[in-house]
């Protein structure tokens, strides 16, 4: 048999083997391992969010965070992320500015994305307002600008996700979201298959597979209907105990106690309790007792780029 034929057969065999492996196995774990990414959204939004992110990573179990590049406190968390390349930081792609008295605009020049601005000169407060006034092309321009800003700040980006889900609740904006992941060769947050089915959305997980874009197996969504300020510890304890084998991402909005966060949002109490729980000894014991493996998005990034080279 000719050498070229042997090499071709080996490549086919290896490809079939990889296709039969779970994401956990491709990451070097067993099929039955329960692997957890704990992502703190909204870093860069304010000082309280930045402080909680740093505390959560250094003395807690927050393993990942995504940064809102248009926001006023971006520089603080960008400097930290650049100085700590071992940490897992992504970009929290942002098309909305939802708070009453604390607002921001775009990273891209306003004349390039006029539809992303409301009458007050800030990003729209709601997702549907974005869809009604802007275009997917503007979302693409702004998404690129936000990712490039993070890269230019020296942040070794591990992934992307979407603030308030704006890039994900519309099929046309989801296509832009996947395009950004492909352009910058980054993993992304993706709804679980059950969530996509419940929303009647196209099979974007299959689109990602064809494009070579990696995402966790599971992502919390519907379960959050039962989540409240009063049951933070109980909710997450129960959810983590019942993780399925594979890679699951959960997200929180942990923030440090203080007048700043309480003046920005009426969800401050929940955010403060999230920091308390995700830095608690109770959670550390739970993770150890359950044998759960906590990782960041970095192994997913490395796997994606390794596969691309191959």
The per-residue DSSP string of 218-238 comes to EE--GGGGG--GGGHHHHHHH
Tell me the C-alpha distance between 236 and 253, whole Å.
13
Residue 202 exposure: Cα atoms within 13 Å on the Cβ side: 12
105-148 pLDDT, tens digit each: 999 999 999 999 999 999 999 999 999 999 999 999 999 999 99
Check pLDDT > 60 for residue 183. Answer: yes
Which residue's structure tokens are 């505390």? 55
Residue 11 in domain: no
More confident residue, 206 or 10: 206
What pLDDT does 309 receive? 66
**What phi and psi values does residue 169 have, to the nearest 5 degrees?**
-85, -5
Q: Outline where the chain has alpha helix (H).
A: 3-19, 23-26, 47-59, 74-83, 127-133, 136-152, 171-183, 193-199, 204-211, 232-241, 259-264, 268-278, 281-290, 298-309
- At 253, which CATH number? 3.20.20.370
Sign of CA dihedral 158, 160, 163, 168: negative
Assess contact for 182 and 213: CB atoms under 8 A.
yes
Which residues 6+ apart lie within 8 Å of 15 measured at CB? none
Residue 143 in domain: yes
Total count of domains within the chain: 1
Which residues 6+ apart lie within 8 Å of 282 measured at CB? 233, 237
Residue 18 in domain: no
Q: What is the bridge-based pairing of β-strands 89-93 and 160-162?
A: parallel
Provide the pLDDT confidence category of residue 20 given band limits of 50, 70 and 90: confident
Residue 2 in domain: no
Strands (E), 178-292: 218-219, 246-252
Sign of CA dihedral 250, 223, 240, 53: positive
Residue 232 in domain: yes
Tell me the C-alpha distance between 103 and 150, whole Å.
20
What is the pTM assigned to this prediction?
0.93
3-19 pLDDT, tens digit each: 555 554 454 455 545 56
Residue 220 in domain: yes
Assess contact for 169 and 202: CB atoms under 8 A.
no
What pLDDT does 186 receive? 98
Residue 4 in domain: no
Tell me the C-alpha distance between 195 and 57, whole Å.
29
Containing domain of residue 58, as a range?
A: 27-309
Tell me the C-alpha distance between 204 and 206, whole Å.
5
Query: Taking the CB of residue 252, how many other CB atoms lie within 10 A of it?
Result: 25
Tell me the C-alpha distance between 36 and 48, whole Å.
24
51-88 pLDDT, tens digit each: 999 999 999 999 999 999 999 999 999 999 999 999 99
**What phi and psi values does residue 219 have, to the nearest 5 degrees?**
-145, 130
Structure tokens at 283: 């959670």
Tell me the C-alpha distance between 132 and 138, whole Å.
12
- Phi/psi class of residue 121: alpha, beta or left (left: φ > 0; alpha: ψ in -120 to 50)? left
Structure tokens at 224: 């959050």
Strand partners, 38: 250
Residue 3 in domain: no
Picking from 27, 154, 100, the residue whose alpha carbon sits closest to that of residue 264 is: 100
- Cα-atom radius of gyration of the chain, to the nearest Å? 20
């Amino acid at each position: 048999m000719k050498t070229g034929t042997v090499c071709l057969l080996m490549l086919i065999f290896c490809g079939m083997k990889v296709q039969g492996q779970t994401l956990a196995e491709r990451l070097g774990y067993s099929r039955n391992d329960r692997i957890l990414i704990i992502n703190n959204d909204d870093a860069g939004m304010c000082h309280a969010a930045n402080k909680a992110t740093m505390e959560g990573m250094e003395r807690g179990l927050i393993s990942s965070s995504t940064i809102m590049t248009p926001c006023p406190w971006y520089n603080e968390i960008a400097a930290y992320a650049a100085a700590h390349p071992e940490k897992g930081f992504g970009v929290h792609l942002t098309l909305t500015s939802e708070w009453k008295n604390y607002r921001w605009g775009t990273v891209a020049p306003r004349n390039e994305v006029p539809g992303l601005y409301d009458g007050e000169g800030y990003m729209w407060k709601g997702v549907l307002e974005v869809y009604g006034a802007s275009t997917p092309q503007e979302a693409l321009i702004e998404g690129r600008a936000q990712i490039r800003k993070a890269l230019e700040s020296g942040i070794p980006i591990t992934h992307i996700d979407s603030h308030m889900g704006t890039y994900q609740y519309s099929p046309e904006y989801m296509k832009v979201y996947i395009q950004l992941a492909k352009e910058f060769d980054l993993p992304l947050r993706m709804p679980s298959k059950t969530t996509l089915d419940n929303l009647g959305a196209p099979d974007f997980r299959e689109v990602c597979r064809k494009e070579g874009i990696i995402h966790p197996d599971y992502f919390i969504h519907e379960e959050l209907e039962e989540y409240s300020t009063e049951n933070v510890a109980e909710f997450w304890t129960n959810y983590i105990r019942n993780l399925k084998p594979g890679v699951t991402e959960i997200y929180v909005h942990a923030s440090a106690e203080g007048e700043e966060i309480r003046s920005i949002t009426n969800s401050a109490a929940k955010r403060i309790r999230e920091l308390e729980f995700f830095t608690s000894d109770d959670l550390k014991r739970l993770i150890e007792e359950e044998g759960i493996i906590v990782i960041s998005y970095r192994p997913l990034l490395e796997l994606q780029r390794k596969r691309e080279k191959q």
